[in-house]
Amino acid sequence: MSLSLNPRRIAIVLSVIAIYLGSHSIVGKYVEDAVALNRGETPSYALETMVRVFNINRESSVPTWFSSSILLAAAALLVVIARFHSQRQAPYVRHWWGLVLIFLYFSLDESAVLHEKLTEPLQDALQPQGALYFAWIIVGIAFVLVFALAYVRFWLRLPAGIRWRFLFAAALYIGGAVVIEGVGANRWYEDDGTSLIYSTIGTLEEIFEMLGVIAFIYALLIYIRDTVGEVRISVENPAALDIQQQLDVERPREIQRREE
């Protein structure tokens, strides 16, 4: 069985899904708010459930599952590249494995919302305001700076086309996770709670993050195609391996007996 992956087609399909999920989420919030405003009553259970399941700003939702899945897919592609370079003892192989760990954590964090656990203790300690009101953003900015310093030489050694694709993907992701998140934090700080404006900003943030990961997946697929080449996956049969090992031992003995 042969499975061929088209980087451009995959990126387009994933991008359409990401934009659809974001649009579905914010439209649902506006519909829910309009129903409550016009009728002066709580929206129906069916409408609330539909909005909650597709709310891009909530954990345990379809968009959150999608976002976590594409982060995990990026980690899997990075494993292929890291394994390829490990076998050849290439330079900067530790940086590739480092990216594997980073994206595995990002995938876990997207589902478990680990970074938001930092918000309350950091807010109590630092008393941030405005764009830094979600205090974990401070940690995010520090991580970006440390990451940039640790990976700048690695980035400069990449092929030119891949280098700029990686930078574009990082700009989209960081733009959403830090910059737009800061705008949303400031809105939350001013409104003292959720609002449709905040939900709109949050939706835009999540879409940018998704598109950043998708752009990165596209770049990784291009890199695998141009550098790694064909990738084969085999499931080993222990019995077959034992037979092969036995043949590898007996064949030299047979050759030696014939020579004697």
In a domain, 11, yes or no: no
pLDDT given for residue 244 in this prediction: 58
Q: Stretch 144-160: mean pLDDT, rounded?
A: 95
In a domain, 30, yes or no: no
In a domain, 5, yes or no: no
pLDDT given for residue 198 in this prediction: 85
pLDDT given for residue 238 in this prediction: 67
Residue 150 has pLDDT above 90, yes or no: yes
Q: Stretch 70-96: mean pLDDT, rounded?
A: 95
Residue 46 has pLDDT above 90, yes or no: no
pLDDT given for residue 7 in this prediction: 94
Cα-based distances in Å from 81 to 76, 108, 135: 9, 21, 35
In a domain, 192, yes or no: yes
Residue 6 has pLDDT above 80, yes or no: yes
In a domain, 202, yes or no: yes
In a domain, 54, yes or no: no
pLDDT given for residue 191 in this prediction: 78
**Two structure tokens written together for 127:** 């008393």
In a domain, 52, yes or no: no
Percent of the chain with pLDDT over 90: 48
Q: Stretch 81-93: mean pLDDT, rounded?
A: 93
Secondary structure string (H, E, C) spanning 95-142: HHHHHHHHHHHHHHHHHHCCHHHHHHHHHHHHCCCHHHCCCHHHHHHH
Percent of the chain with pLDDT over 70: 85
What is the number of domains present in the chain? 1
Check residues 217 and 241 and name the one with the higher pLDDT: 217
Which residue's structure tokens are 């092969």?
244
pLDDT tens-place string over residues 184-215 = 888 888 877 667 888 889 899 999 999 999 99
In a domain, 182, yes or no: yes
pLDDT confidence of 232, banded at 50, 70, 90?
A: confident
Q: How many CB atoms lie within 10 A of CB 250?
A: 10
Task: Print the domain residue range for 175.
Answer: 70-259
